[in-house]
Amino acid sequence: MGQILDGKGLADLLAGKLQEEVADLKEQGIKPLFCVINIGDDPSSKIYLRTKKKRAQEIGIAQRIYQLPANESQADLLALIDQLNEDSRINGIMIQLPVPEQIDVNEALEHINPEKDVDCLTPSNVGRLWRGDHFVEPATAHGILALLKHYKINLRGKNVVIIGRSSIVGKPLAALMLEQDATVSILHLKTKNLSEYTKRADILVSAAGQANLVTSEMIKPGTVVVDVGINQVNGHTVGDVDFKTVAPKASYITPVPGGIGPLTVESLMEQVVKLTRRNHGR
């Protein structure tokens, strides 16, 4: 049985340290504040918003949620972003994804001041990420690297396979792992014969959003398996990995729930504090 990579435990540990850091900032008169723009009534977004609000309160970070109607216009959204950009009290801004179809999300993201870009999704911050001189990191990718570091899993020279090429997880994670001298392959819907790649992986990360996509036959013994997937099957939350069959073959494995999810939320708070420090010259 592979060792469980306890993301929840690490998230709680890191949140305690971050709480002390925020308290120190407040003693200096600096109050971390970030804003979340949510458009419409996506059920998963509402759950994520509640989770973020709870963690922010625990750490001592102020959060404002701008709940916009599902029929919000692009012009009004951009006007709100401009308003938040100009408010010096606000250290971070993020748009909760997904958004309704009438919203041009790329244009909206381009409108966010890169110095307040909590998600690292503005074009300039994406460029910095790949160039290796970034000052903010996407939360899920940051959380995965923090978890591997905590368990002393070195990336240098390792074959890493990432299933999923999203701008939120797959692509930024590849960039950050390349920084640590891993050899990275990104698989996606058009990739043929996934197992030809996954069987060579020393570290396998699945962020495909497909329940039980990864089976024991697809990995070699001793693989480190990181499951980012969150799927609902018969009323239960499961990942992309068939945990029961894969865990005995893996050296390390994340559970779902309790793996990467809690670290994503905690890592988001870390990015808020990073931007707060940067915006105040600290």
Per-residue pLDDT of 90-149, as tens digits, reads 999 999 999 999 999 999 999 999 999 999 999 999 999 999 999 999 999 999 999 999
Q: From the candidates 96, 158, 240, 271, which is the catalytic residue?
A: 96
pLDDT at 58: 95
Q: Is 234 exposed, middle or buried (0-12, 13-18, 19+ CB in 10 A)?
A: exposed
- The answer to whether position 134 is within a domain reads no
Burial code of 139-150, b = ≥16 C-beta within 10 A, e = fewer? bbbbbbbbbbeb
Q: 108 with 70, same domain? A: yes
> With a threshold of 0.85, does the pTM exceed it?
yes
Domain that holds residue 186: 139-260
Cα 101 from Cα 39, distance rounded (Å): 11
218 in any annotated domain: yes
Q: How far is CA 54 from CA 58, 239, 268, 269, in A?
A: 6, 23, 13, 11
Instruction: Check whether residue 165 and residue 254 sit in a common domain.
Output: yes
- The reported pLDDT for the residue numbered 264 is 96
13 — pLDDT class (breaks 50, 70, 90): very high
Q: Which of 158, 254, 257 is nearest to 214 (CA)?
A: 254
pLDDT digits (tens, 9 = 90+) for 53-104: 999 999 999 999 999 999 999 999 999 999 999 999 999 999 999 999 999 9
List 6, 116, 117, 119, catalytic entry: 119
Look up the CATH number of the domain holding residue 160. Answer: 3.40.50.720
Instruction: Indicate whether 120 belongs to any domain.
Output: no
CA dihedral 129, 134, 139, 144 (to 10 degrees): 70
Q: According to the model, what pLDDT value does residue 282 have?
A: 81
Please check whether residues 242 and 143 belong to one and the same domain.
yes
Do both 200 and 245 map to the same domain? Answer: yes
Q: Is 63 noted as a catalytic residue in this protein? A: no
Query: Please, are residues 253 and 243 in contact by the beta-carbon 8 Å criterion?
Result: yes
Banded model confidence at residue 251, pLDDT cuts 50, 70, 90: very high
pLDDT of 48: 86
The kind and range of the H/E element at 84 are helix 74-86
Asked if the structure places residue 14 within a domain, the reply is no
CATH of the domain at 34: 3.40.50.10860
119 is catalytic: yes
Running DSSP on this structure, what letter comes out for residue 102?
A: T
The structural domain count of the chain equals 2
Q: What is the per-residue pLDDT across 164-212, written as a single tens digit (0 to 9) for each?
A: 999 999 999 999 999 999 999 999 999 999 999 999 999 999 999 999 9
Residue 274 domain-assigned (yes or no) = no
- So what's the pLDDT on residue 232? 87
Q: Is there a catalytic annotation at residue 76?
A: no
Say yes or no: 102 and 161 in one domain.
Answer: no
